[in-house]
Chain A
Amino acid sequence: KNEVEQSPQNLTAQEGEFITINCSYSVGISALHWLQQHPGGGIVSLFMLSSGKKKHGRLIATINIQEKHSSLHITASHPRDSAVYICAADTGGFKTIFGAGTRLFVKA
């Protein structure tokens, strides 16, 4: 069992839909990251959180430390949101464990 698991692996949505991507982890963490990887391959950081909730534009990230679970929500999805979304857990000692990613395709 992977220490950081994401679901779903693939997701197709219609433009305007509300999207949720889930991340579960089995290790102790100091922080959890959500990253976005566009088809061109570049990876950018979206959020880093250790508790509660963060919002940036149409993106919302939440984390429940007790349940070892985080979610990334996209409101009013748009085709430009099509990308791979990666969850990553900082476990301390300069060790970050990455999930395999969720591939999102938003249809116009």
Chain B
Amino acid sequence: NAGVTQTPKFQVLKTGQSMTLQCAQDMNHEYMSWYRQDPGMGLRLIHYSVGAGITDQGEVPNGYNVSRSTTEDFPLRLLSAAPSQTSVYFCASTPFPYNEQFFGPGTRLTVL
């Protein structure tokens, strides 16, 4: 099993550009989430999904969109990148709530 995979590993964008961060898991987990990690701060939840077709906002959703058309995939879209979105992004999945989460390797995004 590959676990949770994320692409790309690194990305540089210009302000105003859009892009999609990809996340996939092969463990048949219902629950998936996107976090961002900024220096000196804990991971913060952007969006999450409790199953295919169901998504909801987390703590810092502004500027991001998600969709969940399949159990495996949970892409995160940046609509119009801003320097404040420079961060490391982690995707995670878990089979149940309040359970161990499995994290992807992260995407380091820089917005100039």
- A-to-B contact residues, CB < 8 Å: 2, 4, 30-31, 33, 40-45, 48, 86, 88, 90, 92, 94-101
Determine if B43 and A98 form an interchain contact, defined as CB atoms under 8 angstroms apart. Answer: yes
For the complex, give the distance between the alpha carbons of A107 and B51 in Å.
Answer: 45
Contacts of A100 in B (CB 8 A): 40-42
Query: Which residues between 74 and 105 of chain B lie within 8 Å of chain A, taking CB atoms?
Result: 88, 90, 92, 97-103, 105
For the complex, give the distance between the alpha carbons of A62 and B45 in Å.
Answer: 26
Determine if B106 and A42 form an interchain contact, defined as CB atoms under 8 angstroms apart. Answer: yes
Which range holds the interface residue count of chain B? 20 to 34
Is residue B50 contacting chain A, with contact meaning CB distance below 8 A? yes
What 8 pairs across the A-B complex have the smallest Cβ distances? Answer: A98-B42, A43-B103, A98-B43, A45-B100, A90-B98, A41-B106, A30-B98, A31-B98
Contact of B48 among A94, A97, A98 (CB under 8 A): A94
For the complex, give the distance between the alpha carbons of A43 and B35 in Å.
Answer: 12
- Nearest residue, chain B, Cβ from A96: B45
- Nearest residue, chain B, Cβ from A90: B98
For the complex, give the distance between the alpha carbons of A88 and B100 in Å.
Answer: 11
Residue among A4, A44, A94, A97 with max Cβ neighbours from chain B (10 Å): A94
Is residue B34 contacting chain A, with contact meaning CB distance below 8 A? no
CB distance from B43 to the nearest CB of A (A): 4
For the complex, give the distance between the alpha carbons of A97 and B42 in Å.
Answer: 8
Contacts of B99 in A (CB 8 A): 48
Determine if B98 and A42 form an interchain contact, defined as CB atoms under 8 angstroms apart. Answer: no
Instruction: With A92-B98, A97-B42 given, name 4 new contacts (CB 8 A).
Output: A42-B103, A42-B105, A86-B43, A98-B44
